[in-house]
Structure 1
Amino acid sequence: MTPDNLLHGSLMVAPLTPLWSIIALALCILLLTLWGVLTKKRGTFLRFVGMAIILLWLLNPQKLQETWHSLPETVLVVRDHSSSMTLDQRSTAAQTLSETIKPEQSSLLIRHLDVSSNTAAGTHIFEQIEKAFTSIPPAQRAGVVLLTDGQVHDVPSTLPSWLQQPNTSRGIGSPTHPLPFHVILTGKPGQIDRRIKILQAPPFVLTGQTAHIRLEVDDLGTQEATQTEITTQPTNGTAFSRLIRTGEPFDIDIPITQPGPLLISFSTPPLPGEIATSNNQAVVNITAIRDRLRVLLVSGTPNQGERVWRWLLKADPSVELIHFTILRPPEKDDDTPLSDLALIAFPVHELFQQKINSFDLIILDGFENRSILPAQYLENITRYVKQGGGLFLTAGPEFVTEWSLQDTSLSEIMPAHVPMQGSVLVRAFQPQLTPTGLLHPVTKDLPGANTLTTNKPQWGPWYRILAGNAQGEVLMEDADKHPLLVLNRVEKGRIAMLLSDQSWLWSRGEKGGGPQAELLKRISHWLMKEPELEEERLTATLADNTLTLHYSTLSSEKTLEAHVLSPNGKTFAVPLIRNNHHVLSGTLPAPTPGVWKATYEKHTAFAAHTEKDTEETQDFRATDKKLKPLVEKTNGQTLWVAPSEALKTPIRLALQGESLNQPKEGLNERTVFFPARNPHVVTARQTQPILSAWAMMPIILFLFLLAWYQERKS
């Protein structure tokens, strides 16, 4: 027999008659024997022995002999590839141990598995281990060896079922015993690490308010709390520092002055001898939002577009709309007593003198200045725009009357002017985007718009347009190149002008309609300086240690150069290359944690490794605490192997007995043990009866004759 083919013997029974008949016969024999004992009949014992031999013969005991082919046991060796393993040469040590690990017996095989799963909740690897381990046939599973630094965050709280295997060497129905889960820690015990932990930070804060951030600085692995300095750098202001005590929560308040994303970085000096400094920094990402956008809508003579404006602005919960419609001009006489009027006087002084700066946007829809607004208030509107406000004008026939706003101080900031004679064109025309409109975020990708390849839009017609002269950016026009939508910047503010009062036709579906609501919404938000609608915009994103810059522009430059300031103060020049008709892009390796600042001319963008602030980075020390309960439940072993010692003595795997509680003798301290479970397959089976009929019959006859003789003698 070769070592892989072994003989195994056991006993079995193969009844010659149904088992129930043998049981019935046994009961009869017991009753007869009991009757013989009670009546003191001679030969009872001999008859009982003879009948018992008959029962034994009917059970037909046999000797079973099997030929076994031994199977190897398989150990799953798992190597952790999480981010904390890159520190202190832990990954290199794990690679060395994985390559040099050897079994002591040829019947022990090794299967390797590399795992890596860094999530916001830390390193999660047990699902991968379970999948790989359960792919091994159950009888051949020996156990698991995990090469790690101990920073694993999905350790099962109870013994998993895939580590509970029946003891096959004792046959079916034998009790289960755990398979060993061994841990080889590629690190040094007793390390120290300083970290910044964000305890509380609001994701959104209203502009004008203060962001309250709670933090804690911990010195892990040290006994005493100390004082240290923490530096705070918001992207909307200057850096400042303060002294704090480690191990105790503290609050930092950041004033929010303008809407948009805000990155706030925190940093502390390194702790002498600490394992890593990347978690000495933390970044909080806060989005500053306006409380409510205050919009003043002033409509002239009631018209179809008024309802559209009101519906659009009322549907937006972030907009606080104040709407006035001029139903009766001041010069119109009305003898109705004031007490009987349901209308209110237009609060001109309050809106355009006292509260004008509280509005984010003013919309003048078909407005005729029939002595409603004195020159002083019109000058206030002009000043409001220049100081950063937004103004939207929708122009109709009233723009060429004697009460036109063109004849007021607003004329100096208007993006278009309309001649008083012959400028109202009443005919069907189809609005379309200009070359600038195809690229501008306000009108780009509007549903149904014309594109660079399709000259005709899929929009319904309008029937009136003012033939004006534009001084700003023309985004929409008619087929005869008359400006329709004109945008312009006036010092710190913005103004938009729609040279038609027919946009409401799109909302009614006139010959297919058009994206009227989307267009007016984009114009309004551009006037209120929505960052996503800026025509010149620099953005920065950071992923996989790569900083990506995108610069959206209406200009025709093919290459530009942006400058990037890293968290450690180094400056890099990043070329931006045009990748489509209006976006230039560039990349830069960015492994350093913290806030990266990109600039091009007056544009600035920030990015940070905020996605890496996870449980994995909160503690870089090698530890046995997280895996210790599982190791103890499976009778496993924990070995510490410093990176400098990985090559000195390789890890050995050995089989020993059926239980790991047995003494482990004759092997070095870097040997991990697995139970010998003797996995096998049966290749041949033979049976041989133990009691043959020809041998049993003379014995049975002799016993019965002897019993009869004793009975006759009595």
Structure 2
Amino acid sequence: MSWSVVTDPLIAPIWLAALGVLALAATLGAAWLRAPGTVYRAGAFAVLLALLANPTLREEDREPIDDVAVLLIDNSASMKLSERSETRDAAVNRLKSQLDLMSDLDVRIVESDKAANDGGTALFGTLDGAIADVPRERLAGVLIVSDGQVHDTPSSLAALGIDAPLHGILVGDPMAADRKLIVEEATRFGIVGEPITIRFRVDEEGNDHIRPVGVEVRLNGERVNQLNVKPGDETTTALALPHGGENVVEIIAETLPNELTAQNNKATLVLTGIRDRLRVLLVSGEPHAGERTWRNLLKADPSVDLVHFTILRPPEKQDGTPISELSLIAFPTRELFSAKLDEFDLIIFDRYRRRGVLPIVYLGNVARYVENGGAVLAAAGPAFASPFSIYRTPLASILPAQPTGQIVEEGFRAALTEDGSRHPVTAALPGSETSPPNWGRWFRLIEAAQTSGRAVMEGPEGRPLMVLDTVGEGRVAQLLSDHAWLWARGFEGGGPQAEMLRRLAHWLMKEPDLEEERLLATGKDGSLTIERRTMASEAEPVTVTLPSGTTETLILSESAPGRFTGRIPTDEIGLHQAADSALQAVAAVGPANPREFKDVRSTQEPLAPLIAESNGGTFWINELGEAPTLRSVRAGRDAAGDAWAGLRRNGGYVLKAVTQVPLLSPLIALPLMIGLLLLGWRRESK
């Protein structure tokens, strides 16, 4: 219950005020003139004004509303360092026991493991959600138990609509030693094979003995550089990307004794390799309908520099045309096939046969070019089955299929072999999902006996049609038909000629996306997905190493022919490593270099301005030995002391019922007023 005296004027307040002014003026005038009965008239005026003001005794039936206190617990990754989580839990338990004893208090306990966009700790986003339904006048205070590393602090508490004490209860040692590696400058892209530079710095805090630090640079899991750097100085390292697509660079500084964590001793960069220009040498034999298909396909790609070597006038052809009218500039055969052969990324022989134009020694150079890491695609025509076949040259040492001398000339649909359904070059080609494939027919196949490699496509009666092989450090592909151009022309619906040849060319040039044996790791939305590509029928288990150093074994299941996948959930931010007995892969879950670990020392700096704005307090557990004592305080009073934190009492309530009783009844006021006027008149009459 609550009692109070209120007024409920019978006339508008402005008229009541005007009447009061007139009454006061009349009374003062009468007093100045020493008129008899002035006191009685003043009393009558007072009774009249009191009657018009209508004073009322008000009784309110109030139901108190509990104030709201928020206990916000930091459960981010940095809280798992050292003994912070144990200290935090002990502090939280003490705070909970005190909050349970405080009456008229609605306690909301919120744990925050939410990450900011850059991988930092997002406590205030969690706090805003926890008090979204709370009127700000009911908020008693906020208790934050954290290491102080908060990365979404607002410019002010007013931005969140908070007008209550904010207390920071901090765990950890602000003077702990820690070493961190910071990347100052790095490009996101690089030309394959050309050097790129990365600039970084190693910082040390809490360490009085500064000495050179060993730094290791890894590229796709392999060490490429070892440096000794001075803490605080910028250092530059150079490396070359080995292939197109994603390349993972790790820069790792050695661990400082007794430091908080080694996770910020390394930085991870995902750099995209781009091939500057692909140099392709197309060696054509006799002109045919498919020659233009090859040329158009290669010329359509602006990143391809094409050199087309074709024979328009073979030596055996004598038509009497003067040499001077055939060519003004001699074709640089020696320069291409000897001096600059290694500059080509791919050499294509399209229906080429021995004609005495290219010396045998040049073809021997091509064979050595493949063994040293080059790539050759041989598209066979009828000449491959003749005595003039390129198989009767040094190229025979690298070709995986030997001609039998027979040519099959009948309509057939190219089909994938069992290996072809698993190999990235031919797996899931558009139209291959049906049997037979939904492709147009070809009408010629050069019969050959496979001597090495893998047949990924076949013709009638299982004869090899496309054979892939690895020779030394290079790769070779044979296409045993010259009718692929029928697909490009749309004959009988055509087929995936452009996609097939694109994949084939990129496989020959060792693009990672088309490797038949590959381990791939991808991090997304708090999970790590592992994909193993293999030509084997089964994939062995994969060992996953988390950023914390713990390991898990993942069993993969077949998701498509030649593809085995598995997924594990992970709440750890940073670089995850996956490996089996033959391959390894790395992937970053969350930001590659999370802000959470850029600085892991306990600190009060992010919260200090907000605590000062709210008149709250900062409490270090390692100094106090335990969480602070909680007290209820009135609004406007100090909300924090040396070892105590205050929660404001707002005194909110809900009004359930109101009873009002007039204090001055007209039945009393009117006779009293008349009586006073009569007394004044009588006094004046004397």
Normalised by the length of structure 2, the TM-score is 0.85
Of residues 63, 68, 79, the one that matches 1:74 is 68
Match of 1:111 in 2: 108
Other-structure match for 1:95: 89
Q: Separation in 2 of the partners of 1:707 and 1:592?
A: 92
Mapped partners of 1:660, 1:192: distance in 2:
39
Give CA deviations for 1:631-687 in whole Å, capped at 9, x if unaligned.
Answer: 0000111111129934xxx543221121233797xxxx5431022210111121011
Matched residue SS, 1:279: helix
* Aligned equivalent of 2:562: 582
Distance 1:566 1:618, change over 3 A: closer
* Residues 541 and 548 in structure 1, CA contact (< 8 A), matched pair in contact too: yes
Shift, 1:410, TM fit? 2.6
- Describe the shift of the 1:547–1:74 C-alpha distance in structure 2 as closer, same or farther (beyond 3 A): closer
Structure 1 segment 21-100 matched on structure 2, within 5 A? 22=15, 26=19, 50=44, 53-54=47-48, 56-100=50-94
| Structure 1 residues 663 and 248, CA gap change in structure 2 (3 angstroms) | closer
Partners of 2:41 and 2:61 in 1: CA distance: 41
In 1, Cα distance between equivalents of 2:93 and 2:547 = 38
Shift of 1:254: 3.5
1:535-554 residue pairs with structure 2 within 5 A?
Answer: 535-539=516-520, 551-554=532-535
Flag the 1:315–1:679 CA change in 2: closer, same or farther, 3 A: farther
CA deviation map 1:209-260 (0-9, x unaligned) = 33322222212235x6832222324358657654432222222333556667
Residue equivalent to 1:231: 215
Q: Give the Cα–Cα distance (whole angstroms) in 2 for the partners of residues 579 and 426 of structure 1.
A: 37
Q: Tell me which of 6, 20, 35 is aligned to 1:11.
A: 6
Q: Which amino acid aligns with 2:146?
A: T
Question: Given the superposition, is the C-alpha separation of residues 258 and 687 from structure 1 closer, same or farther in structure 2, using an over 3 Å criterion?
Answer: closer
Aligned with 1:358 (options 333, 339, 343) = 343
Distance 1:194 1:656 in 2: 43
Partner SS, residue 463 of structure 1: coil
Report if aligned partners of 1:564, 1:599 keep a CA contact under 8 Å in 2.
Answer: no
**Alignment-derived partner of residue 508 in structure 2:** 527
Contact 1:228 1:268 in 2 (8 A): no
CA distance change for structure 1 residues 228 and 644 in 2, over 3 Å: closer, same or farther? farther
Following TM superposition, by how much is the alpha carbon of 1:389 offset from its aligned partner in structure 2, in angstroms?
1.3
Distance of 2:209 and 2:234 partners within structure 1: 12
CA contact (8 A) 1:193 1:275 kept: yes
- C-alpha distance in 2 between matches for 1:550 and 1:129: 39
Q: Following the alignment from structure 2 to structure 1, what is the Cα–Cα distance between the partners of residues 395 and 242? A: 30
Displacement, 1:195? 1.8
Change in Cα spacing, 1:448 to 1:412, as seen in structure 2 (3 Å) is same
Match of 2:657 in 1: 684
**Structure 2 residue matching 1:474: 3-state secondary structure:** strand
Q: Hey, what's the Cα distance between the residues in 1 that align with 2:385 and 2:182?
A: 65
Instruction: State the shift of 1:515 in Å.
Output: 1.6
Displacement after TM superposition at 1:140 (Å): 2.8
> What fraction of aligned residue pairs are identical, expressed as a percent?
35
Instruction: Verify the 8 A CA contact 1:560 1:575 in the aligned structure 2.
Output: no
Cα gap change, 1:293/1:663 in structure 2, threshold over 3 Å: closer, same or farther? Answer: closer
Residues 12-63 of structure 1: per-residue CA shift (max 9 Å, x gap): 32x445668x4697499589969988x9897997778756754553443323
| Per-residue deviation, residues 404-426 of structure 1 (Å, max 9, x unmatched) | 434433334333344445x1414
- What is the DSSP-based 3-state SS (H/G/I as helix, E as strand, rest coil) of the residue aligned with 2:81? helix
User: Cα deviation per residue 1:61-105 (whole Å; 9 max; x = unaligned)?
Assistant: 323221111122121101101111112221122222222221353
**What does 1:88-237 align with in structure 2 at a 5 Å threshold?**
88-101=82-95, 102-103=98-99, 105-119=102-116, 120-164=118-162, 178-221=163-206, 226-235=210-219
Distance (Å, rounded) in 2 between the aligned partners of 1:162 and 1:560: 52
Q: Give distance in 2, aligned partners of 1:607 and 1:261.
A: 10
Structure 2, unpaired ranges of 5+? none
Q: 2:325, 2:280 → 1: CA distance?
A: 30
Partner of 2:438: 458
The one-letter code sitting in structure 1 at the alignment partner of 2:260 is: I
Query: Given that residues 92 and 643 in structure 1 are in contact (C-alpha distance below 8 angstroms), is that contact kept between their aligned partners in structure 2?
Result: no
Q: CA 1:162 to 1:11, structure 2 compared with 1: closer, same or farther past 3 Å?
A: farther
CA apart distance, 1:182: 0.6
What amino acid is the match of 1:607? V
Any unmatched runs of 5+ in structure 1? 1-5, 165-177
C-alpha deviations, 1:378-417, integer Å up to 9, x for none? 2222222222211112223344456543443333433334
Greater mean deviation of Cα atoms: 607-616 or 704-713:
704-713
Secondary structure at the counterpart of residue 295 of structure 2: helix
Which one of the candidate residues 351, 374, 397 is aligned to 1:389? 374
State the 1:10 CA deviation.
Answer: 4.3
Range moving further from structure 2, 44-53 or 435-444: 44-53
Give the drift of 1:629. Answer: 0.6
Q: How far does residue 149 in structure 1 lie from its aligned partner after superposition?
A: 0.8
Residue 420 of structure 2 is aligned with which of 437, 440, 446? 437
Q: Is the 8 A contact 1:561 1:573 kept in 2?
A: no
Residue identity matched to 1:478 = G
Q: Hey, what does 1:622 align to over in structure 2? A: 602
Contact 1:635/1:660 (CA < 8 Å) preserved in 2?
no
Aligned to 1:634: 614
Change (3 A) 1:320 1:705: farther
Question: Alignment RMSD, CA only?
Answer: 4.2
Deviations for 1:271-291, whole angstroms, at most 9, x for unmatched residues?
A: 4x5333443344444455443
Distance 2:299 2:357 in 1: 26
Is the contact between residue 364 and residue 394 of structure 1 (CA under 8 Å) also seen in structure 2?
A: yes
Aligned length: 675
Q: Per the alignment, in what secondary structure is the counterpart of residue 379 of structure 1?
A: helix
Aligned to 2:479: 498
Please state how far the C-alpha of 1:617 moved relative to its aligned partner.
1.2
Report what 1:661 is aligned to: 638
Specify the alignment match of 2:360 in structure 1.
375
Query: Matches of 2:512 and 2:342 in 1, distance apart?
Result: 21
How far apart are the structure 1 equivalents of 2:490 and 2:685? 124
Instruction: State the partner residue of 1:645.
Output: 625
Contact 2:616 2:640 survives alignment (8 Å):
no
CA distance in 1, matches of 2:544, 2:43: 103
Does the residue aligned with 1:9 lie in a helix, a strand or coil? strand
Measure, in 1, the Cα distance between the counterparts of 2:320 and 2:34: 143
Q: Distance in 2 between matches of 1:635 and 1:73?
A: 18
TM-score computed with the length of structure 1 as normaliser: 0.82
Per the TM alignment, residue 310 of structure 1 is displaced from its structure 2 partner at its CA by 3.4
Q: Deviations over 1:573-596 (max 9, x none)?
A: 979766465356799999999896
Q: Is the 8 A contact 1:229 1:241 kept in 2?
A: no
Contact kept, 8 Å, 2:114 with 2:126, in 1: the verdict is no
Cα distance in 2 for residues equivalent to 1:463 and 1:314? 27
Task: Specify the alignment match of 1:173 in structure 2.
Answer: none
Q: Flag the 1:303–1:240 CA change in 2: closer, same or farther, 3 A.
A: closer
Whole-angstrom CA distance in 1 between matches of 2:179 and 2:355: 71
